[in-house]
Structure 1
Amino acid sequence: MASPSERAAQLIYPANVLANASLTNIKFISACFAGASAGILGLENWRGFALFLTSTLFTSLCINTINCRGQVSKYMQGGLTELLNPGQDNAFTFVLVWTLFYGIVHVYD
């Protein structure tokens, strides 16, 4: 007999799991645009991170309604928590792009 975790893994459609790579790219590009926006706007401290949080939530909402059709557990093994997780790479990307654009735009302020 299969264990409960094996049965849960069998319920996930493999083609949907393979498509998660494109969802990761969407979240990465969203973090880049949020960092560029925060840098150009000159946001500092918690306001920049609030923009990152807002961007992450908006991107997750769009992915949930458009790509997953409201059934996140069918498409991602972690479910909603996996979708809302910004990821360490995306957070570092946001900070890197944020400081880059802030330095370019506001160099003489």
Structure 2
Amino acid sequence: MIDERELAINPIVQDSVRHNAQTLSNIRALTASLFGVGAGILGLESYPGFAFYLLGTFVVSSLIYLLRVAPESQSTGSKDGANLYFYRPMMDLWVGDSVGNMMGFVLTWTLFYGLVRA
């Protein structure tokens, strides 16, 4: 956890943290729907479809970390750049809304599966 001295040196701006969390949530919701479209068009059923979603969310989280967080941590010289952008970096960046966005995934998955297979 962040101690008082660290907060005095690098204060956490709640509006920025909230904006970053909202942006990440929007990206996850959009990609969950796109993964549902992909799984439906590919005709995936049951466990392979959910594995497709989990693999896709891991790839998206990795890309966000590699393209956004890692370059900033190298330029600022900090060990963990995710702490600069998120209140709980592990939960927000890697797990986030994965379970909540699964409903949108299943919705678009079944829609496009039905459209392609019917």
Instruction: Specify the TM-score bucket, using the shorter chain as the normaliser.
Output: 0.7 to 0.9
Q: Give deviations 1:37-96, integer Å, cap 9, x for gaps.
A: 000000001100011001100000011111222622221111123212152331111011
Structure 2 regions of 5+ residues with no counterpart?
Answer: 74-80
Mapped partners of 2:52, 2:110: distance in 1 = 14
Of 92, 97, 101 in structure 1, the residue corresponding to residue 108 of structure 2 is 97
- Give the CA RMSD over aligned residues: 2.4
Mapped partners of 2:14, 2:65: distance in 1 = 18
Tell me whether 27-36 or 10-19 shows the greater mean CA deviation: 10-19
Mapped partners of 2:114, 2:54: distance in 1 = 22
Q: Return the offset for 1:5.
A: 6.5
Corresponding letter in the other structure for 1:24: S
Query: Percent identity between the aligned chains?
Result: 33
Mapped partners of 2:59, 2:85: distance in 1 = 18
Q: 1:43 to 1:82 in 2, by over 3 A?
A: same
Q: Give deviations 1:18-47, integer Å, cap 9, x for gaps.
A: 233222111111101110000000000110
- Mapping of residues 1-109 of structure 1, within 5 Å: 7=4, 10=7, 11-14=11-14, 16-17=16-17, 18-69=19-70, 71-87=81-97, 88-107=99-118
Count, aligned residues: 104
TM-score normalised by the chain length of structure 2? 0.75
Kept in 2: contact 1:13–1:75 (CA 8 A):
no
TM-score normalised by the chain length of structure 1? 0.80
Kept in 2: contact 1:36–1:97 (CA 8 A):
yes
Structure 1 regions of 5+ residues with no counterpart?
Answer: none
Q: 1:44 to 1:75 in 2, by over 3 A?
A: same
Corresponding letter in the other structure for 1:49: F
Mapped partners of 2:5, 2:32: distance in 1 = 31
